[in-house]
Amino acid sequence: MPPSLKTWPPFPGFHETNEIVGERGLMLLRPYEKLMLRTSDQWETVLELPKEKADPIEEFLREEVEALADAVANDSDPPVTGEEGRHTVEVIEAAYRSAQTGQSVALPLE
């Protein structure tokens, strides 16, 4: 999220959330800590991990970045290949197309 939205609810002070918009509501996930659902004008906390079980914000994606850096430094395969990344983007693109048309979309995309 852009810094201008730093105080945007429901996670003030954090720049990252995962957002899923559905026909009947909005779901927000603050990575590794809280899952919230909004189906009207109210937010409902569906799941919240205790602080001692949630990953600290400073650790967010650290392992993934370190693994990629290690693969580059050692000229080895990364934990997630370019092919896997491309497939993930293709699935997301198919979801967008399906939402726009209201039709199912076959994979692989043409």
The length of the chain, given as a count of residues? 110
For residue 99, being part of any structural domain is answered with no
Helices (H) and strands (E) in the chain — how many of each? 2, 4
For residue 82, being part of any structural domain is answered with no
Please give the DSSP secondary-structure letter assigned to residue 68.
H
Q: How many CB atoms lie within 10 A of CB 15?
A: 13
Whether the pLDDT of residue 7 is over 50: the answer is no
Q: Which residue has the higher pLDDT, 83 or 29?
A: 83
For residue 88, being part of any structural domain is answered with no
- Selection from 109, 103, 99, 107 nearest residue 21 by Cα: 99
Provide the residue range defining the domain that includes 39: 3-60
pLDDT digits (tens, 9 = 90+) for 28-82: 766 667 777 777 777 788 888 787 777 666 666 677 788 889 999 999 998 888 8
Interval 8-23 mean pLDDT: 61
Cα 55 to Cα 23, 40, 49, 50: the distances in Å are: 31, 30, 9, 10
Q: What predicted TM-score, i.e. pTM, was given to this entire model?
A: 0.48
Asked whether 85 and 101 are in contact (CB, 8 A), the reply is no
How many domains does one find in the chain? 1
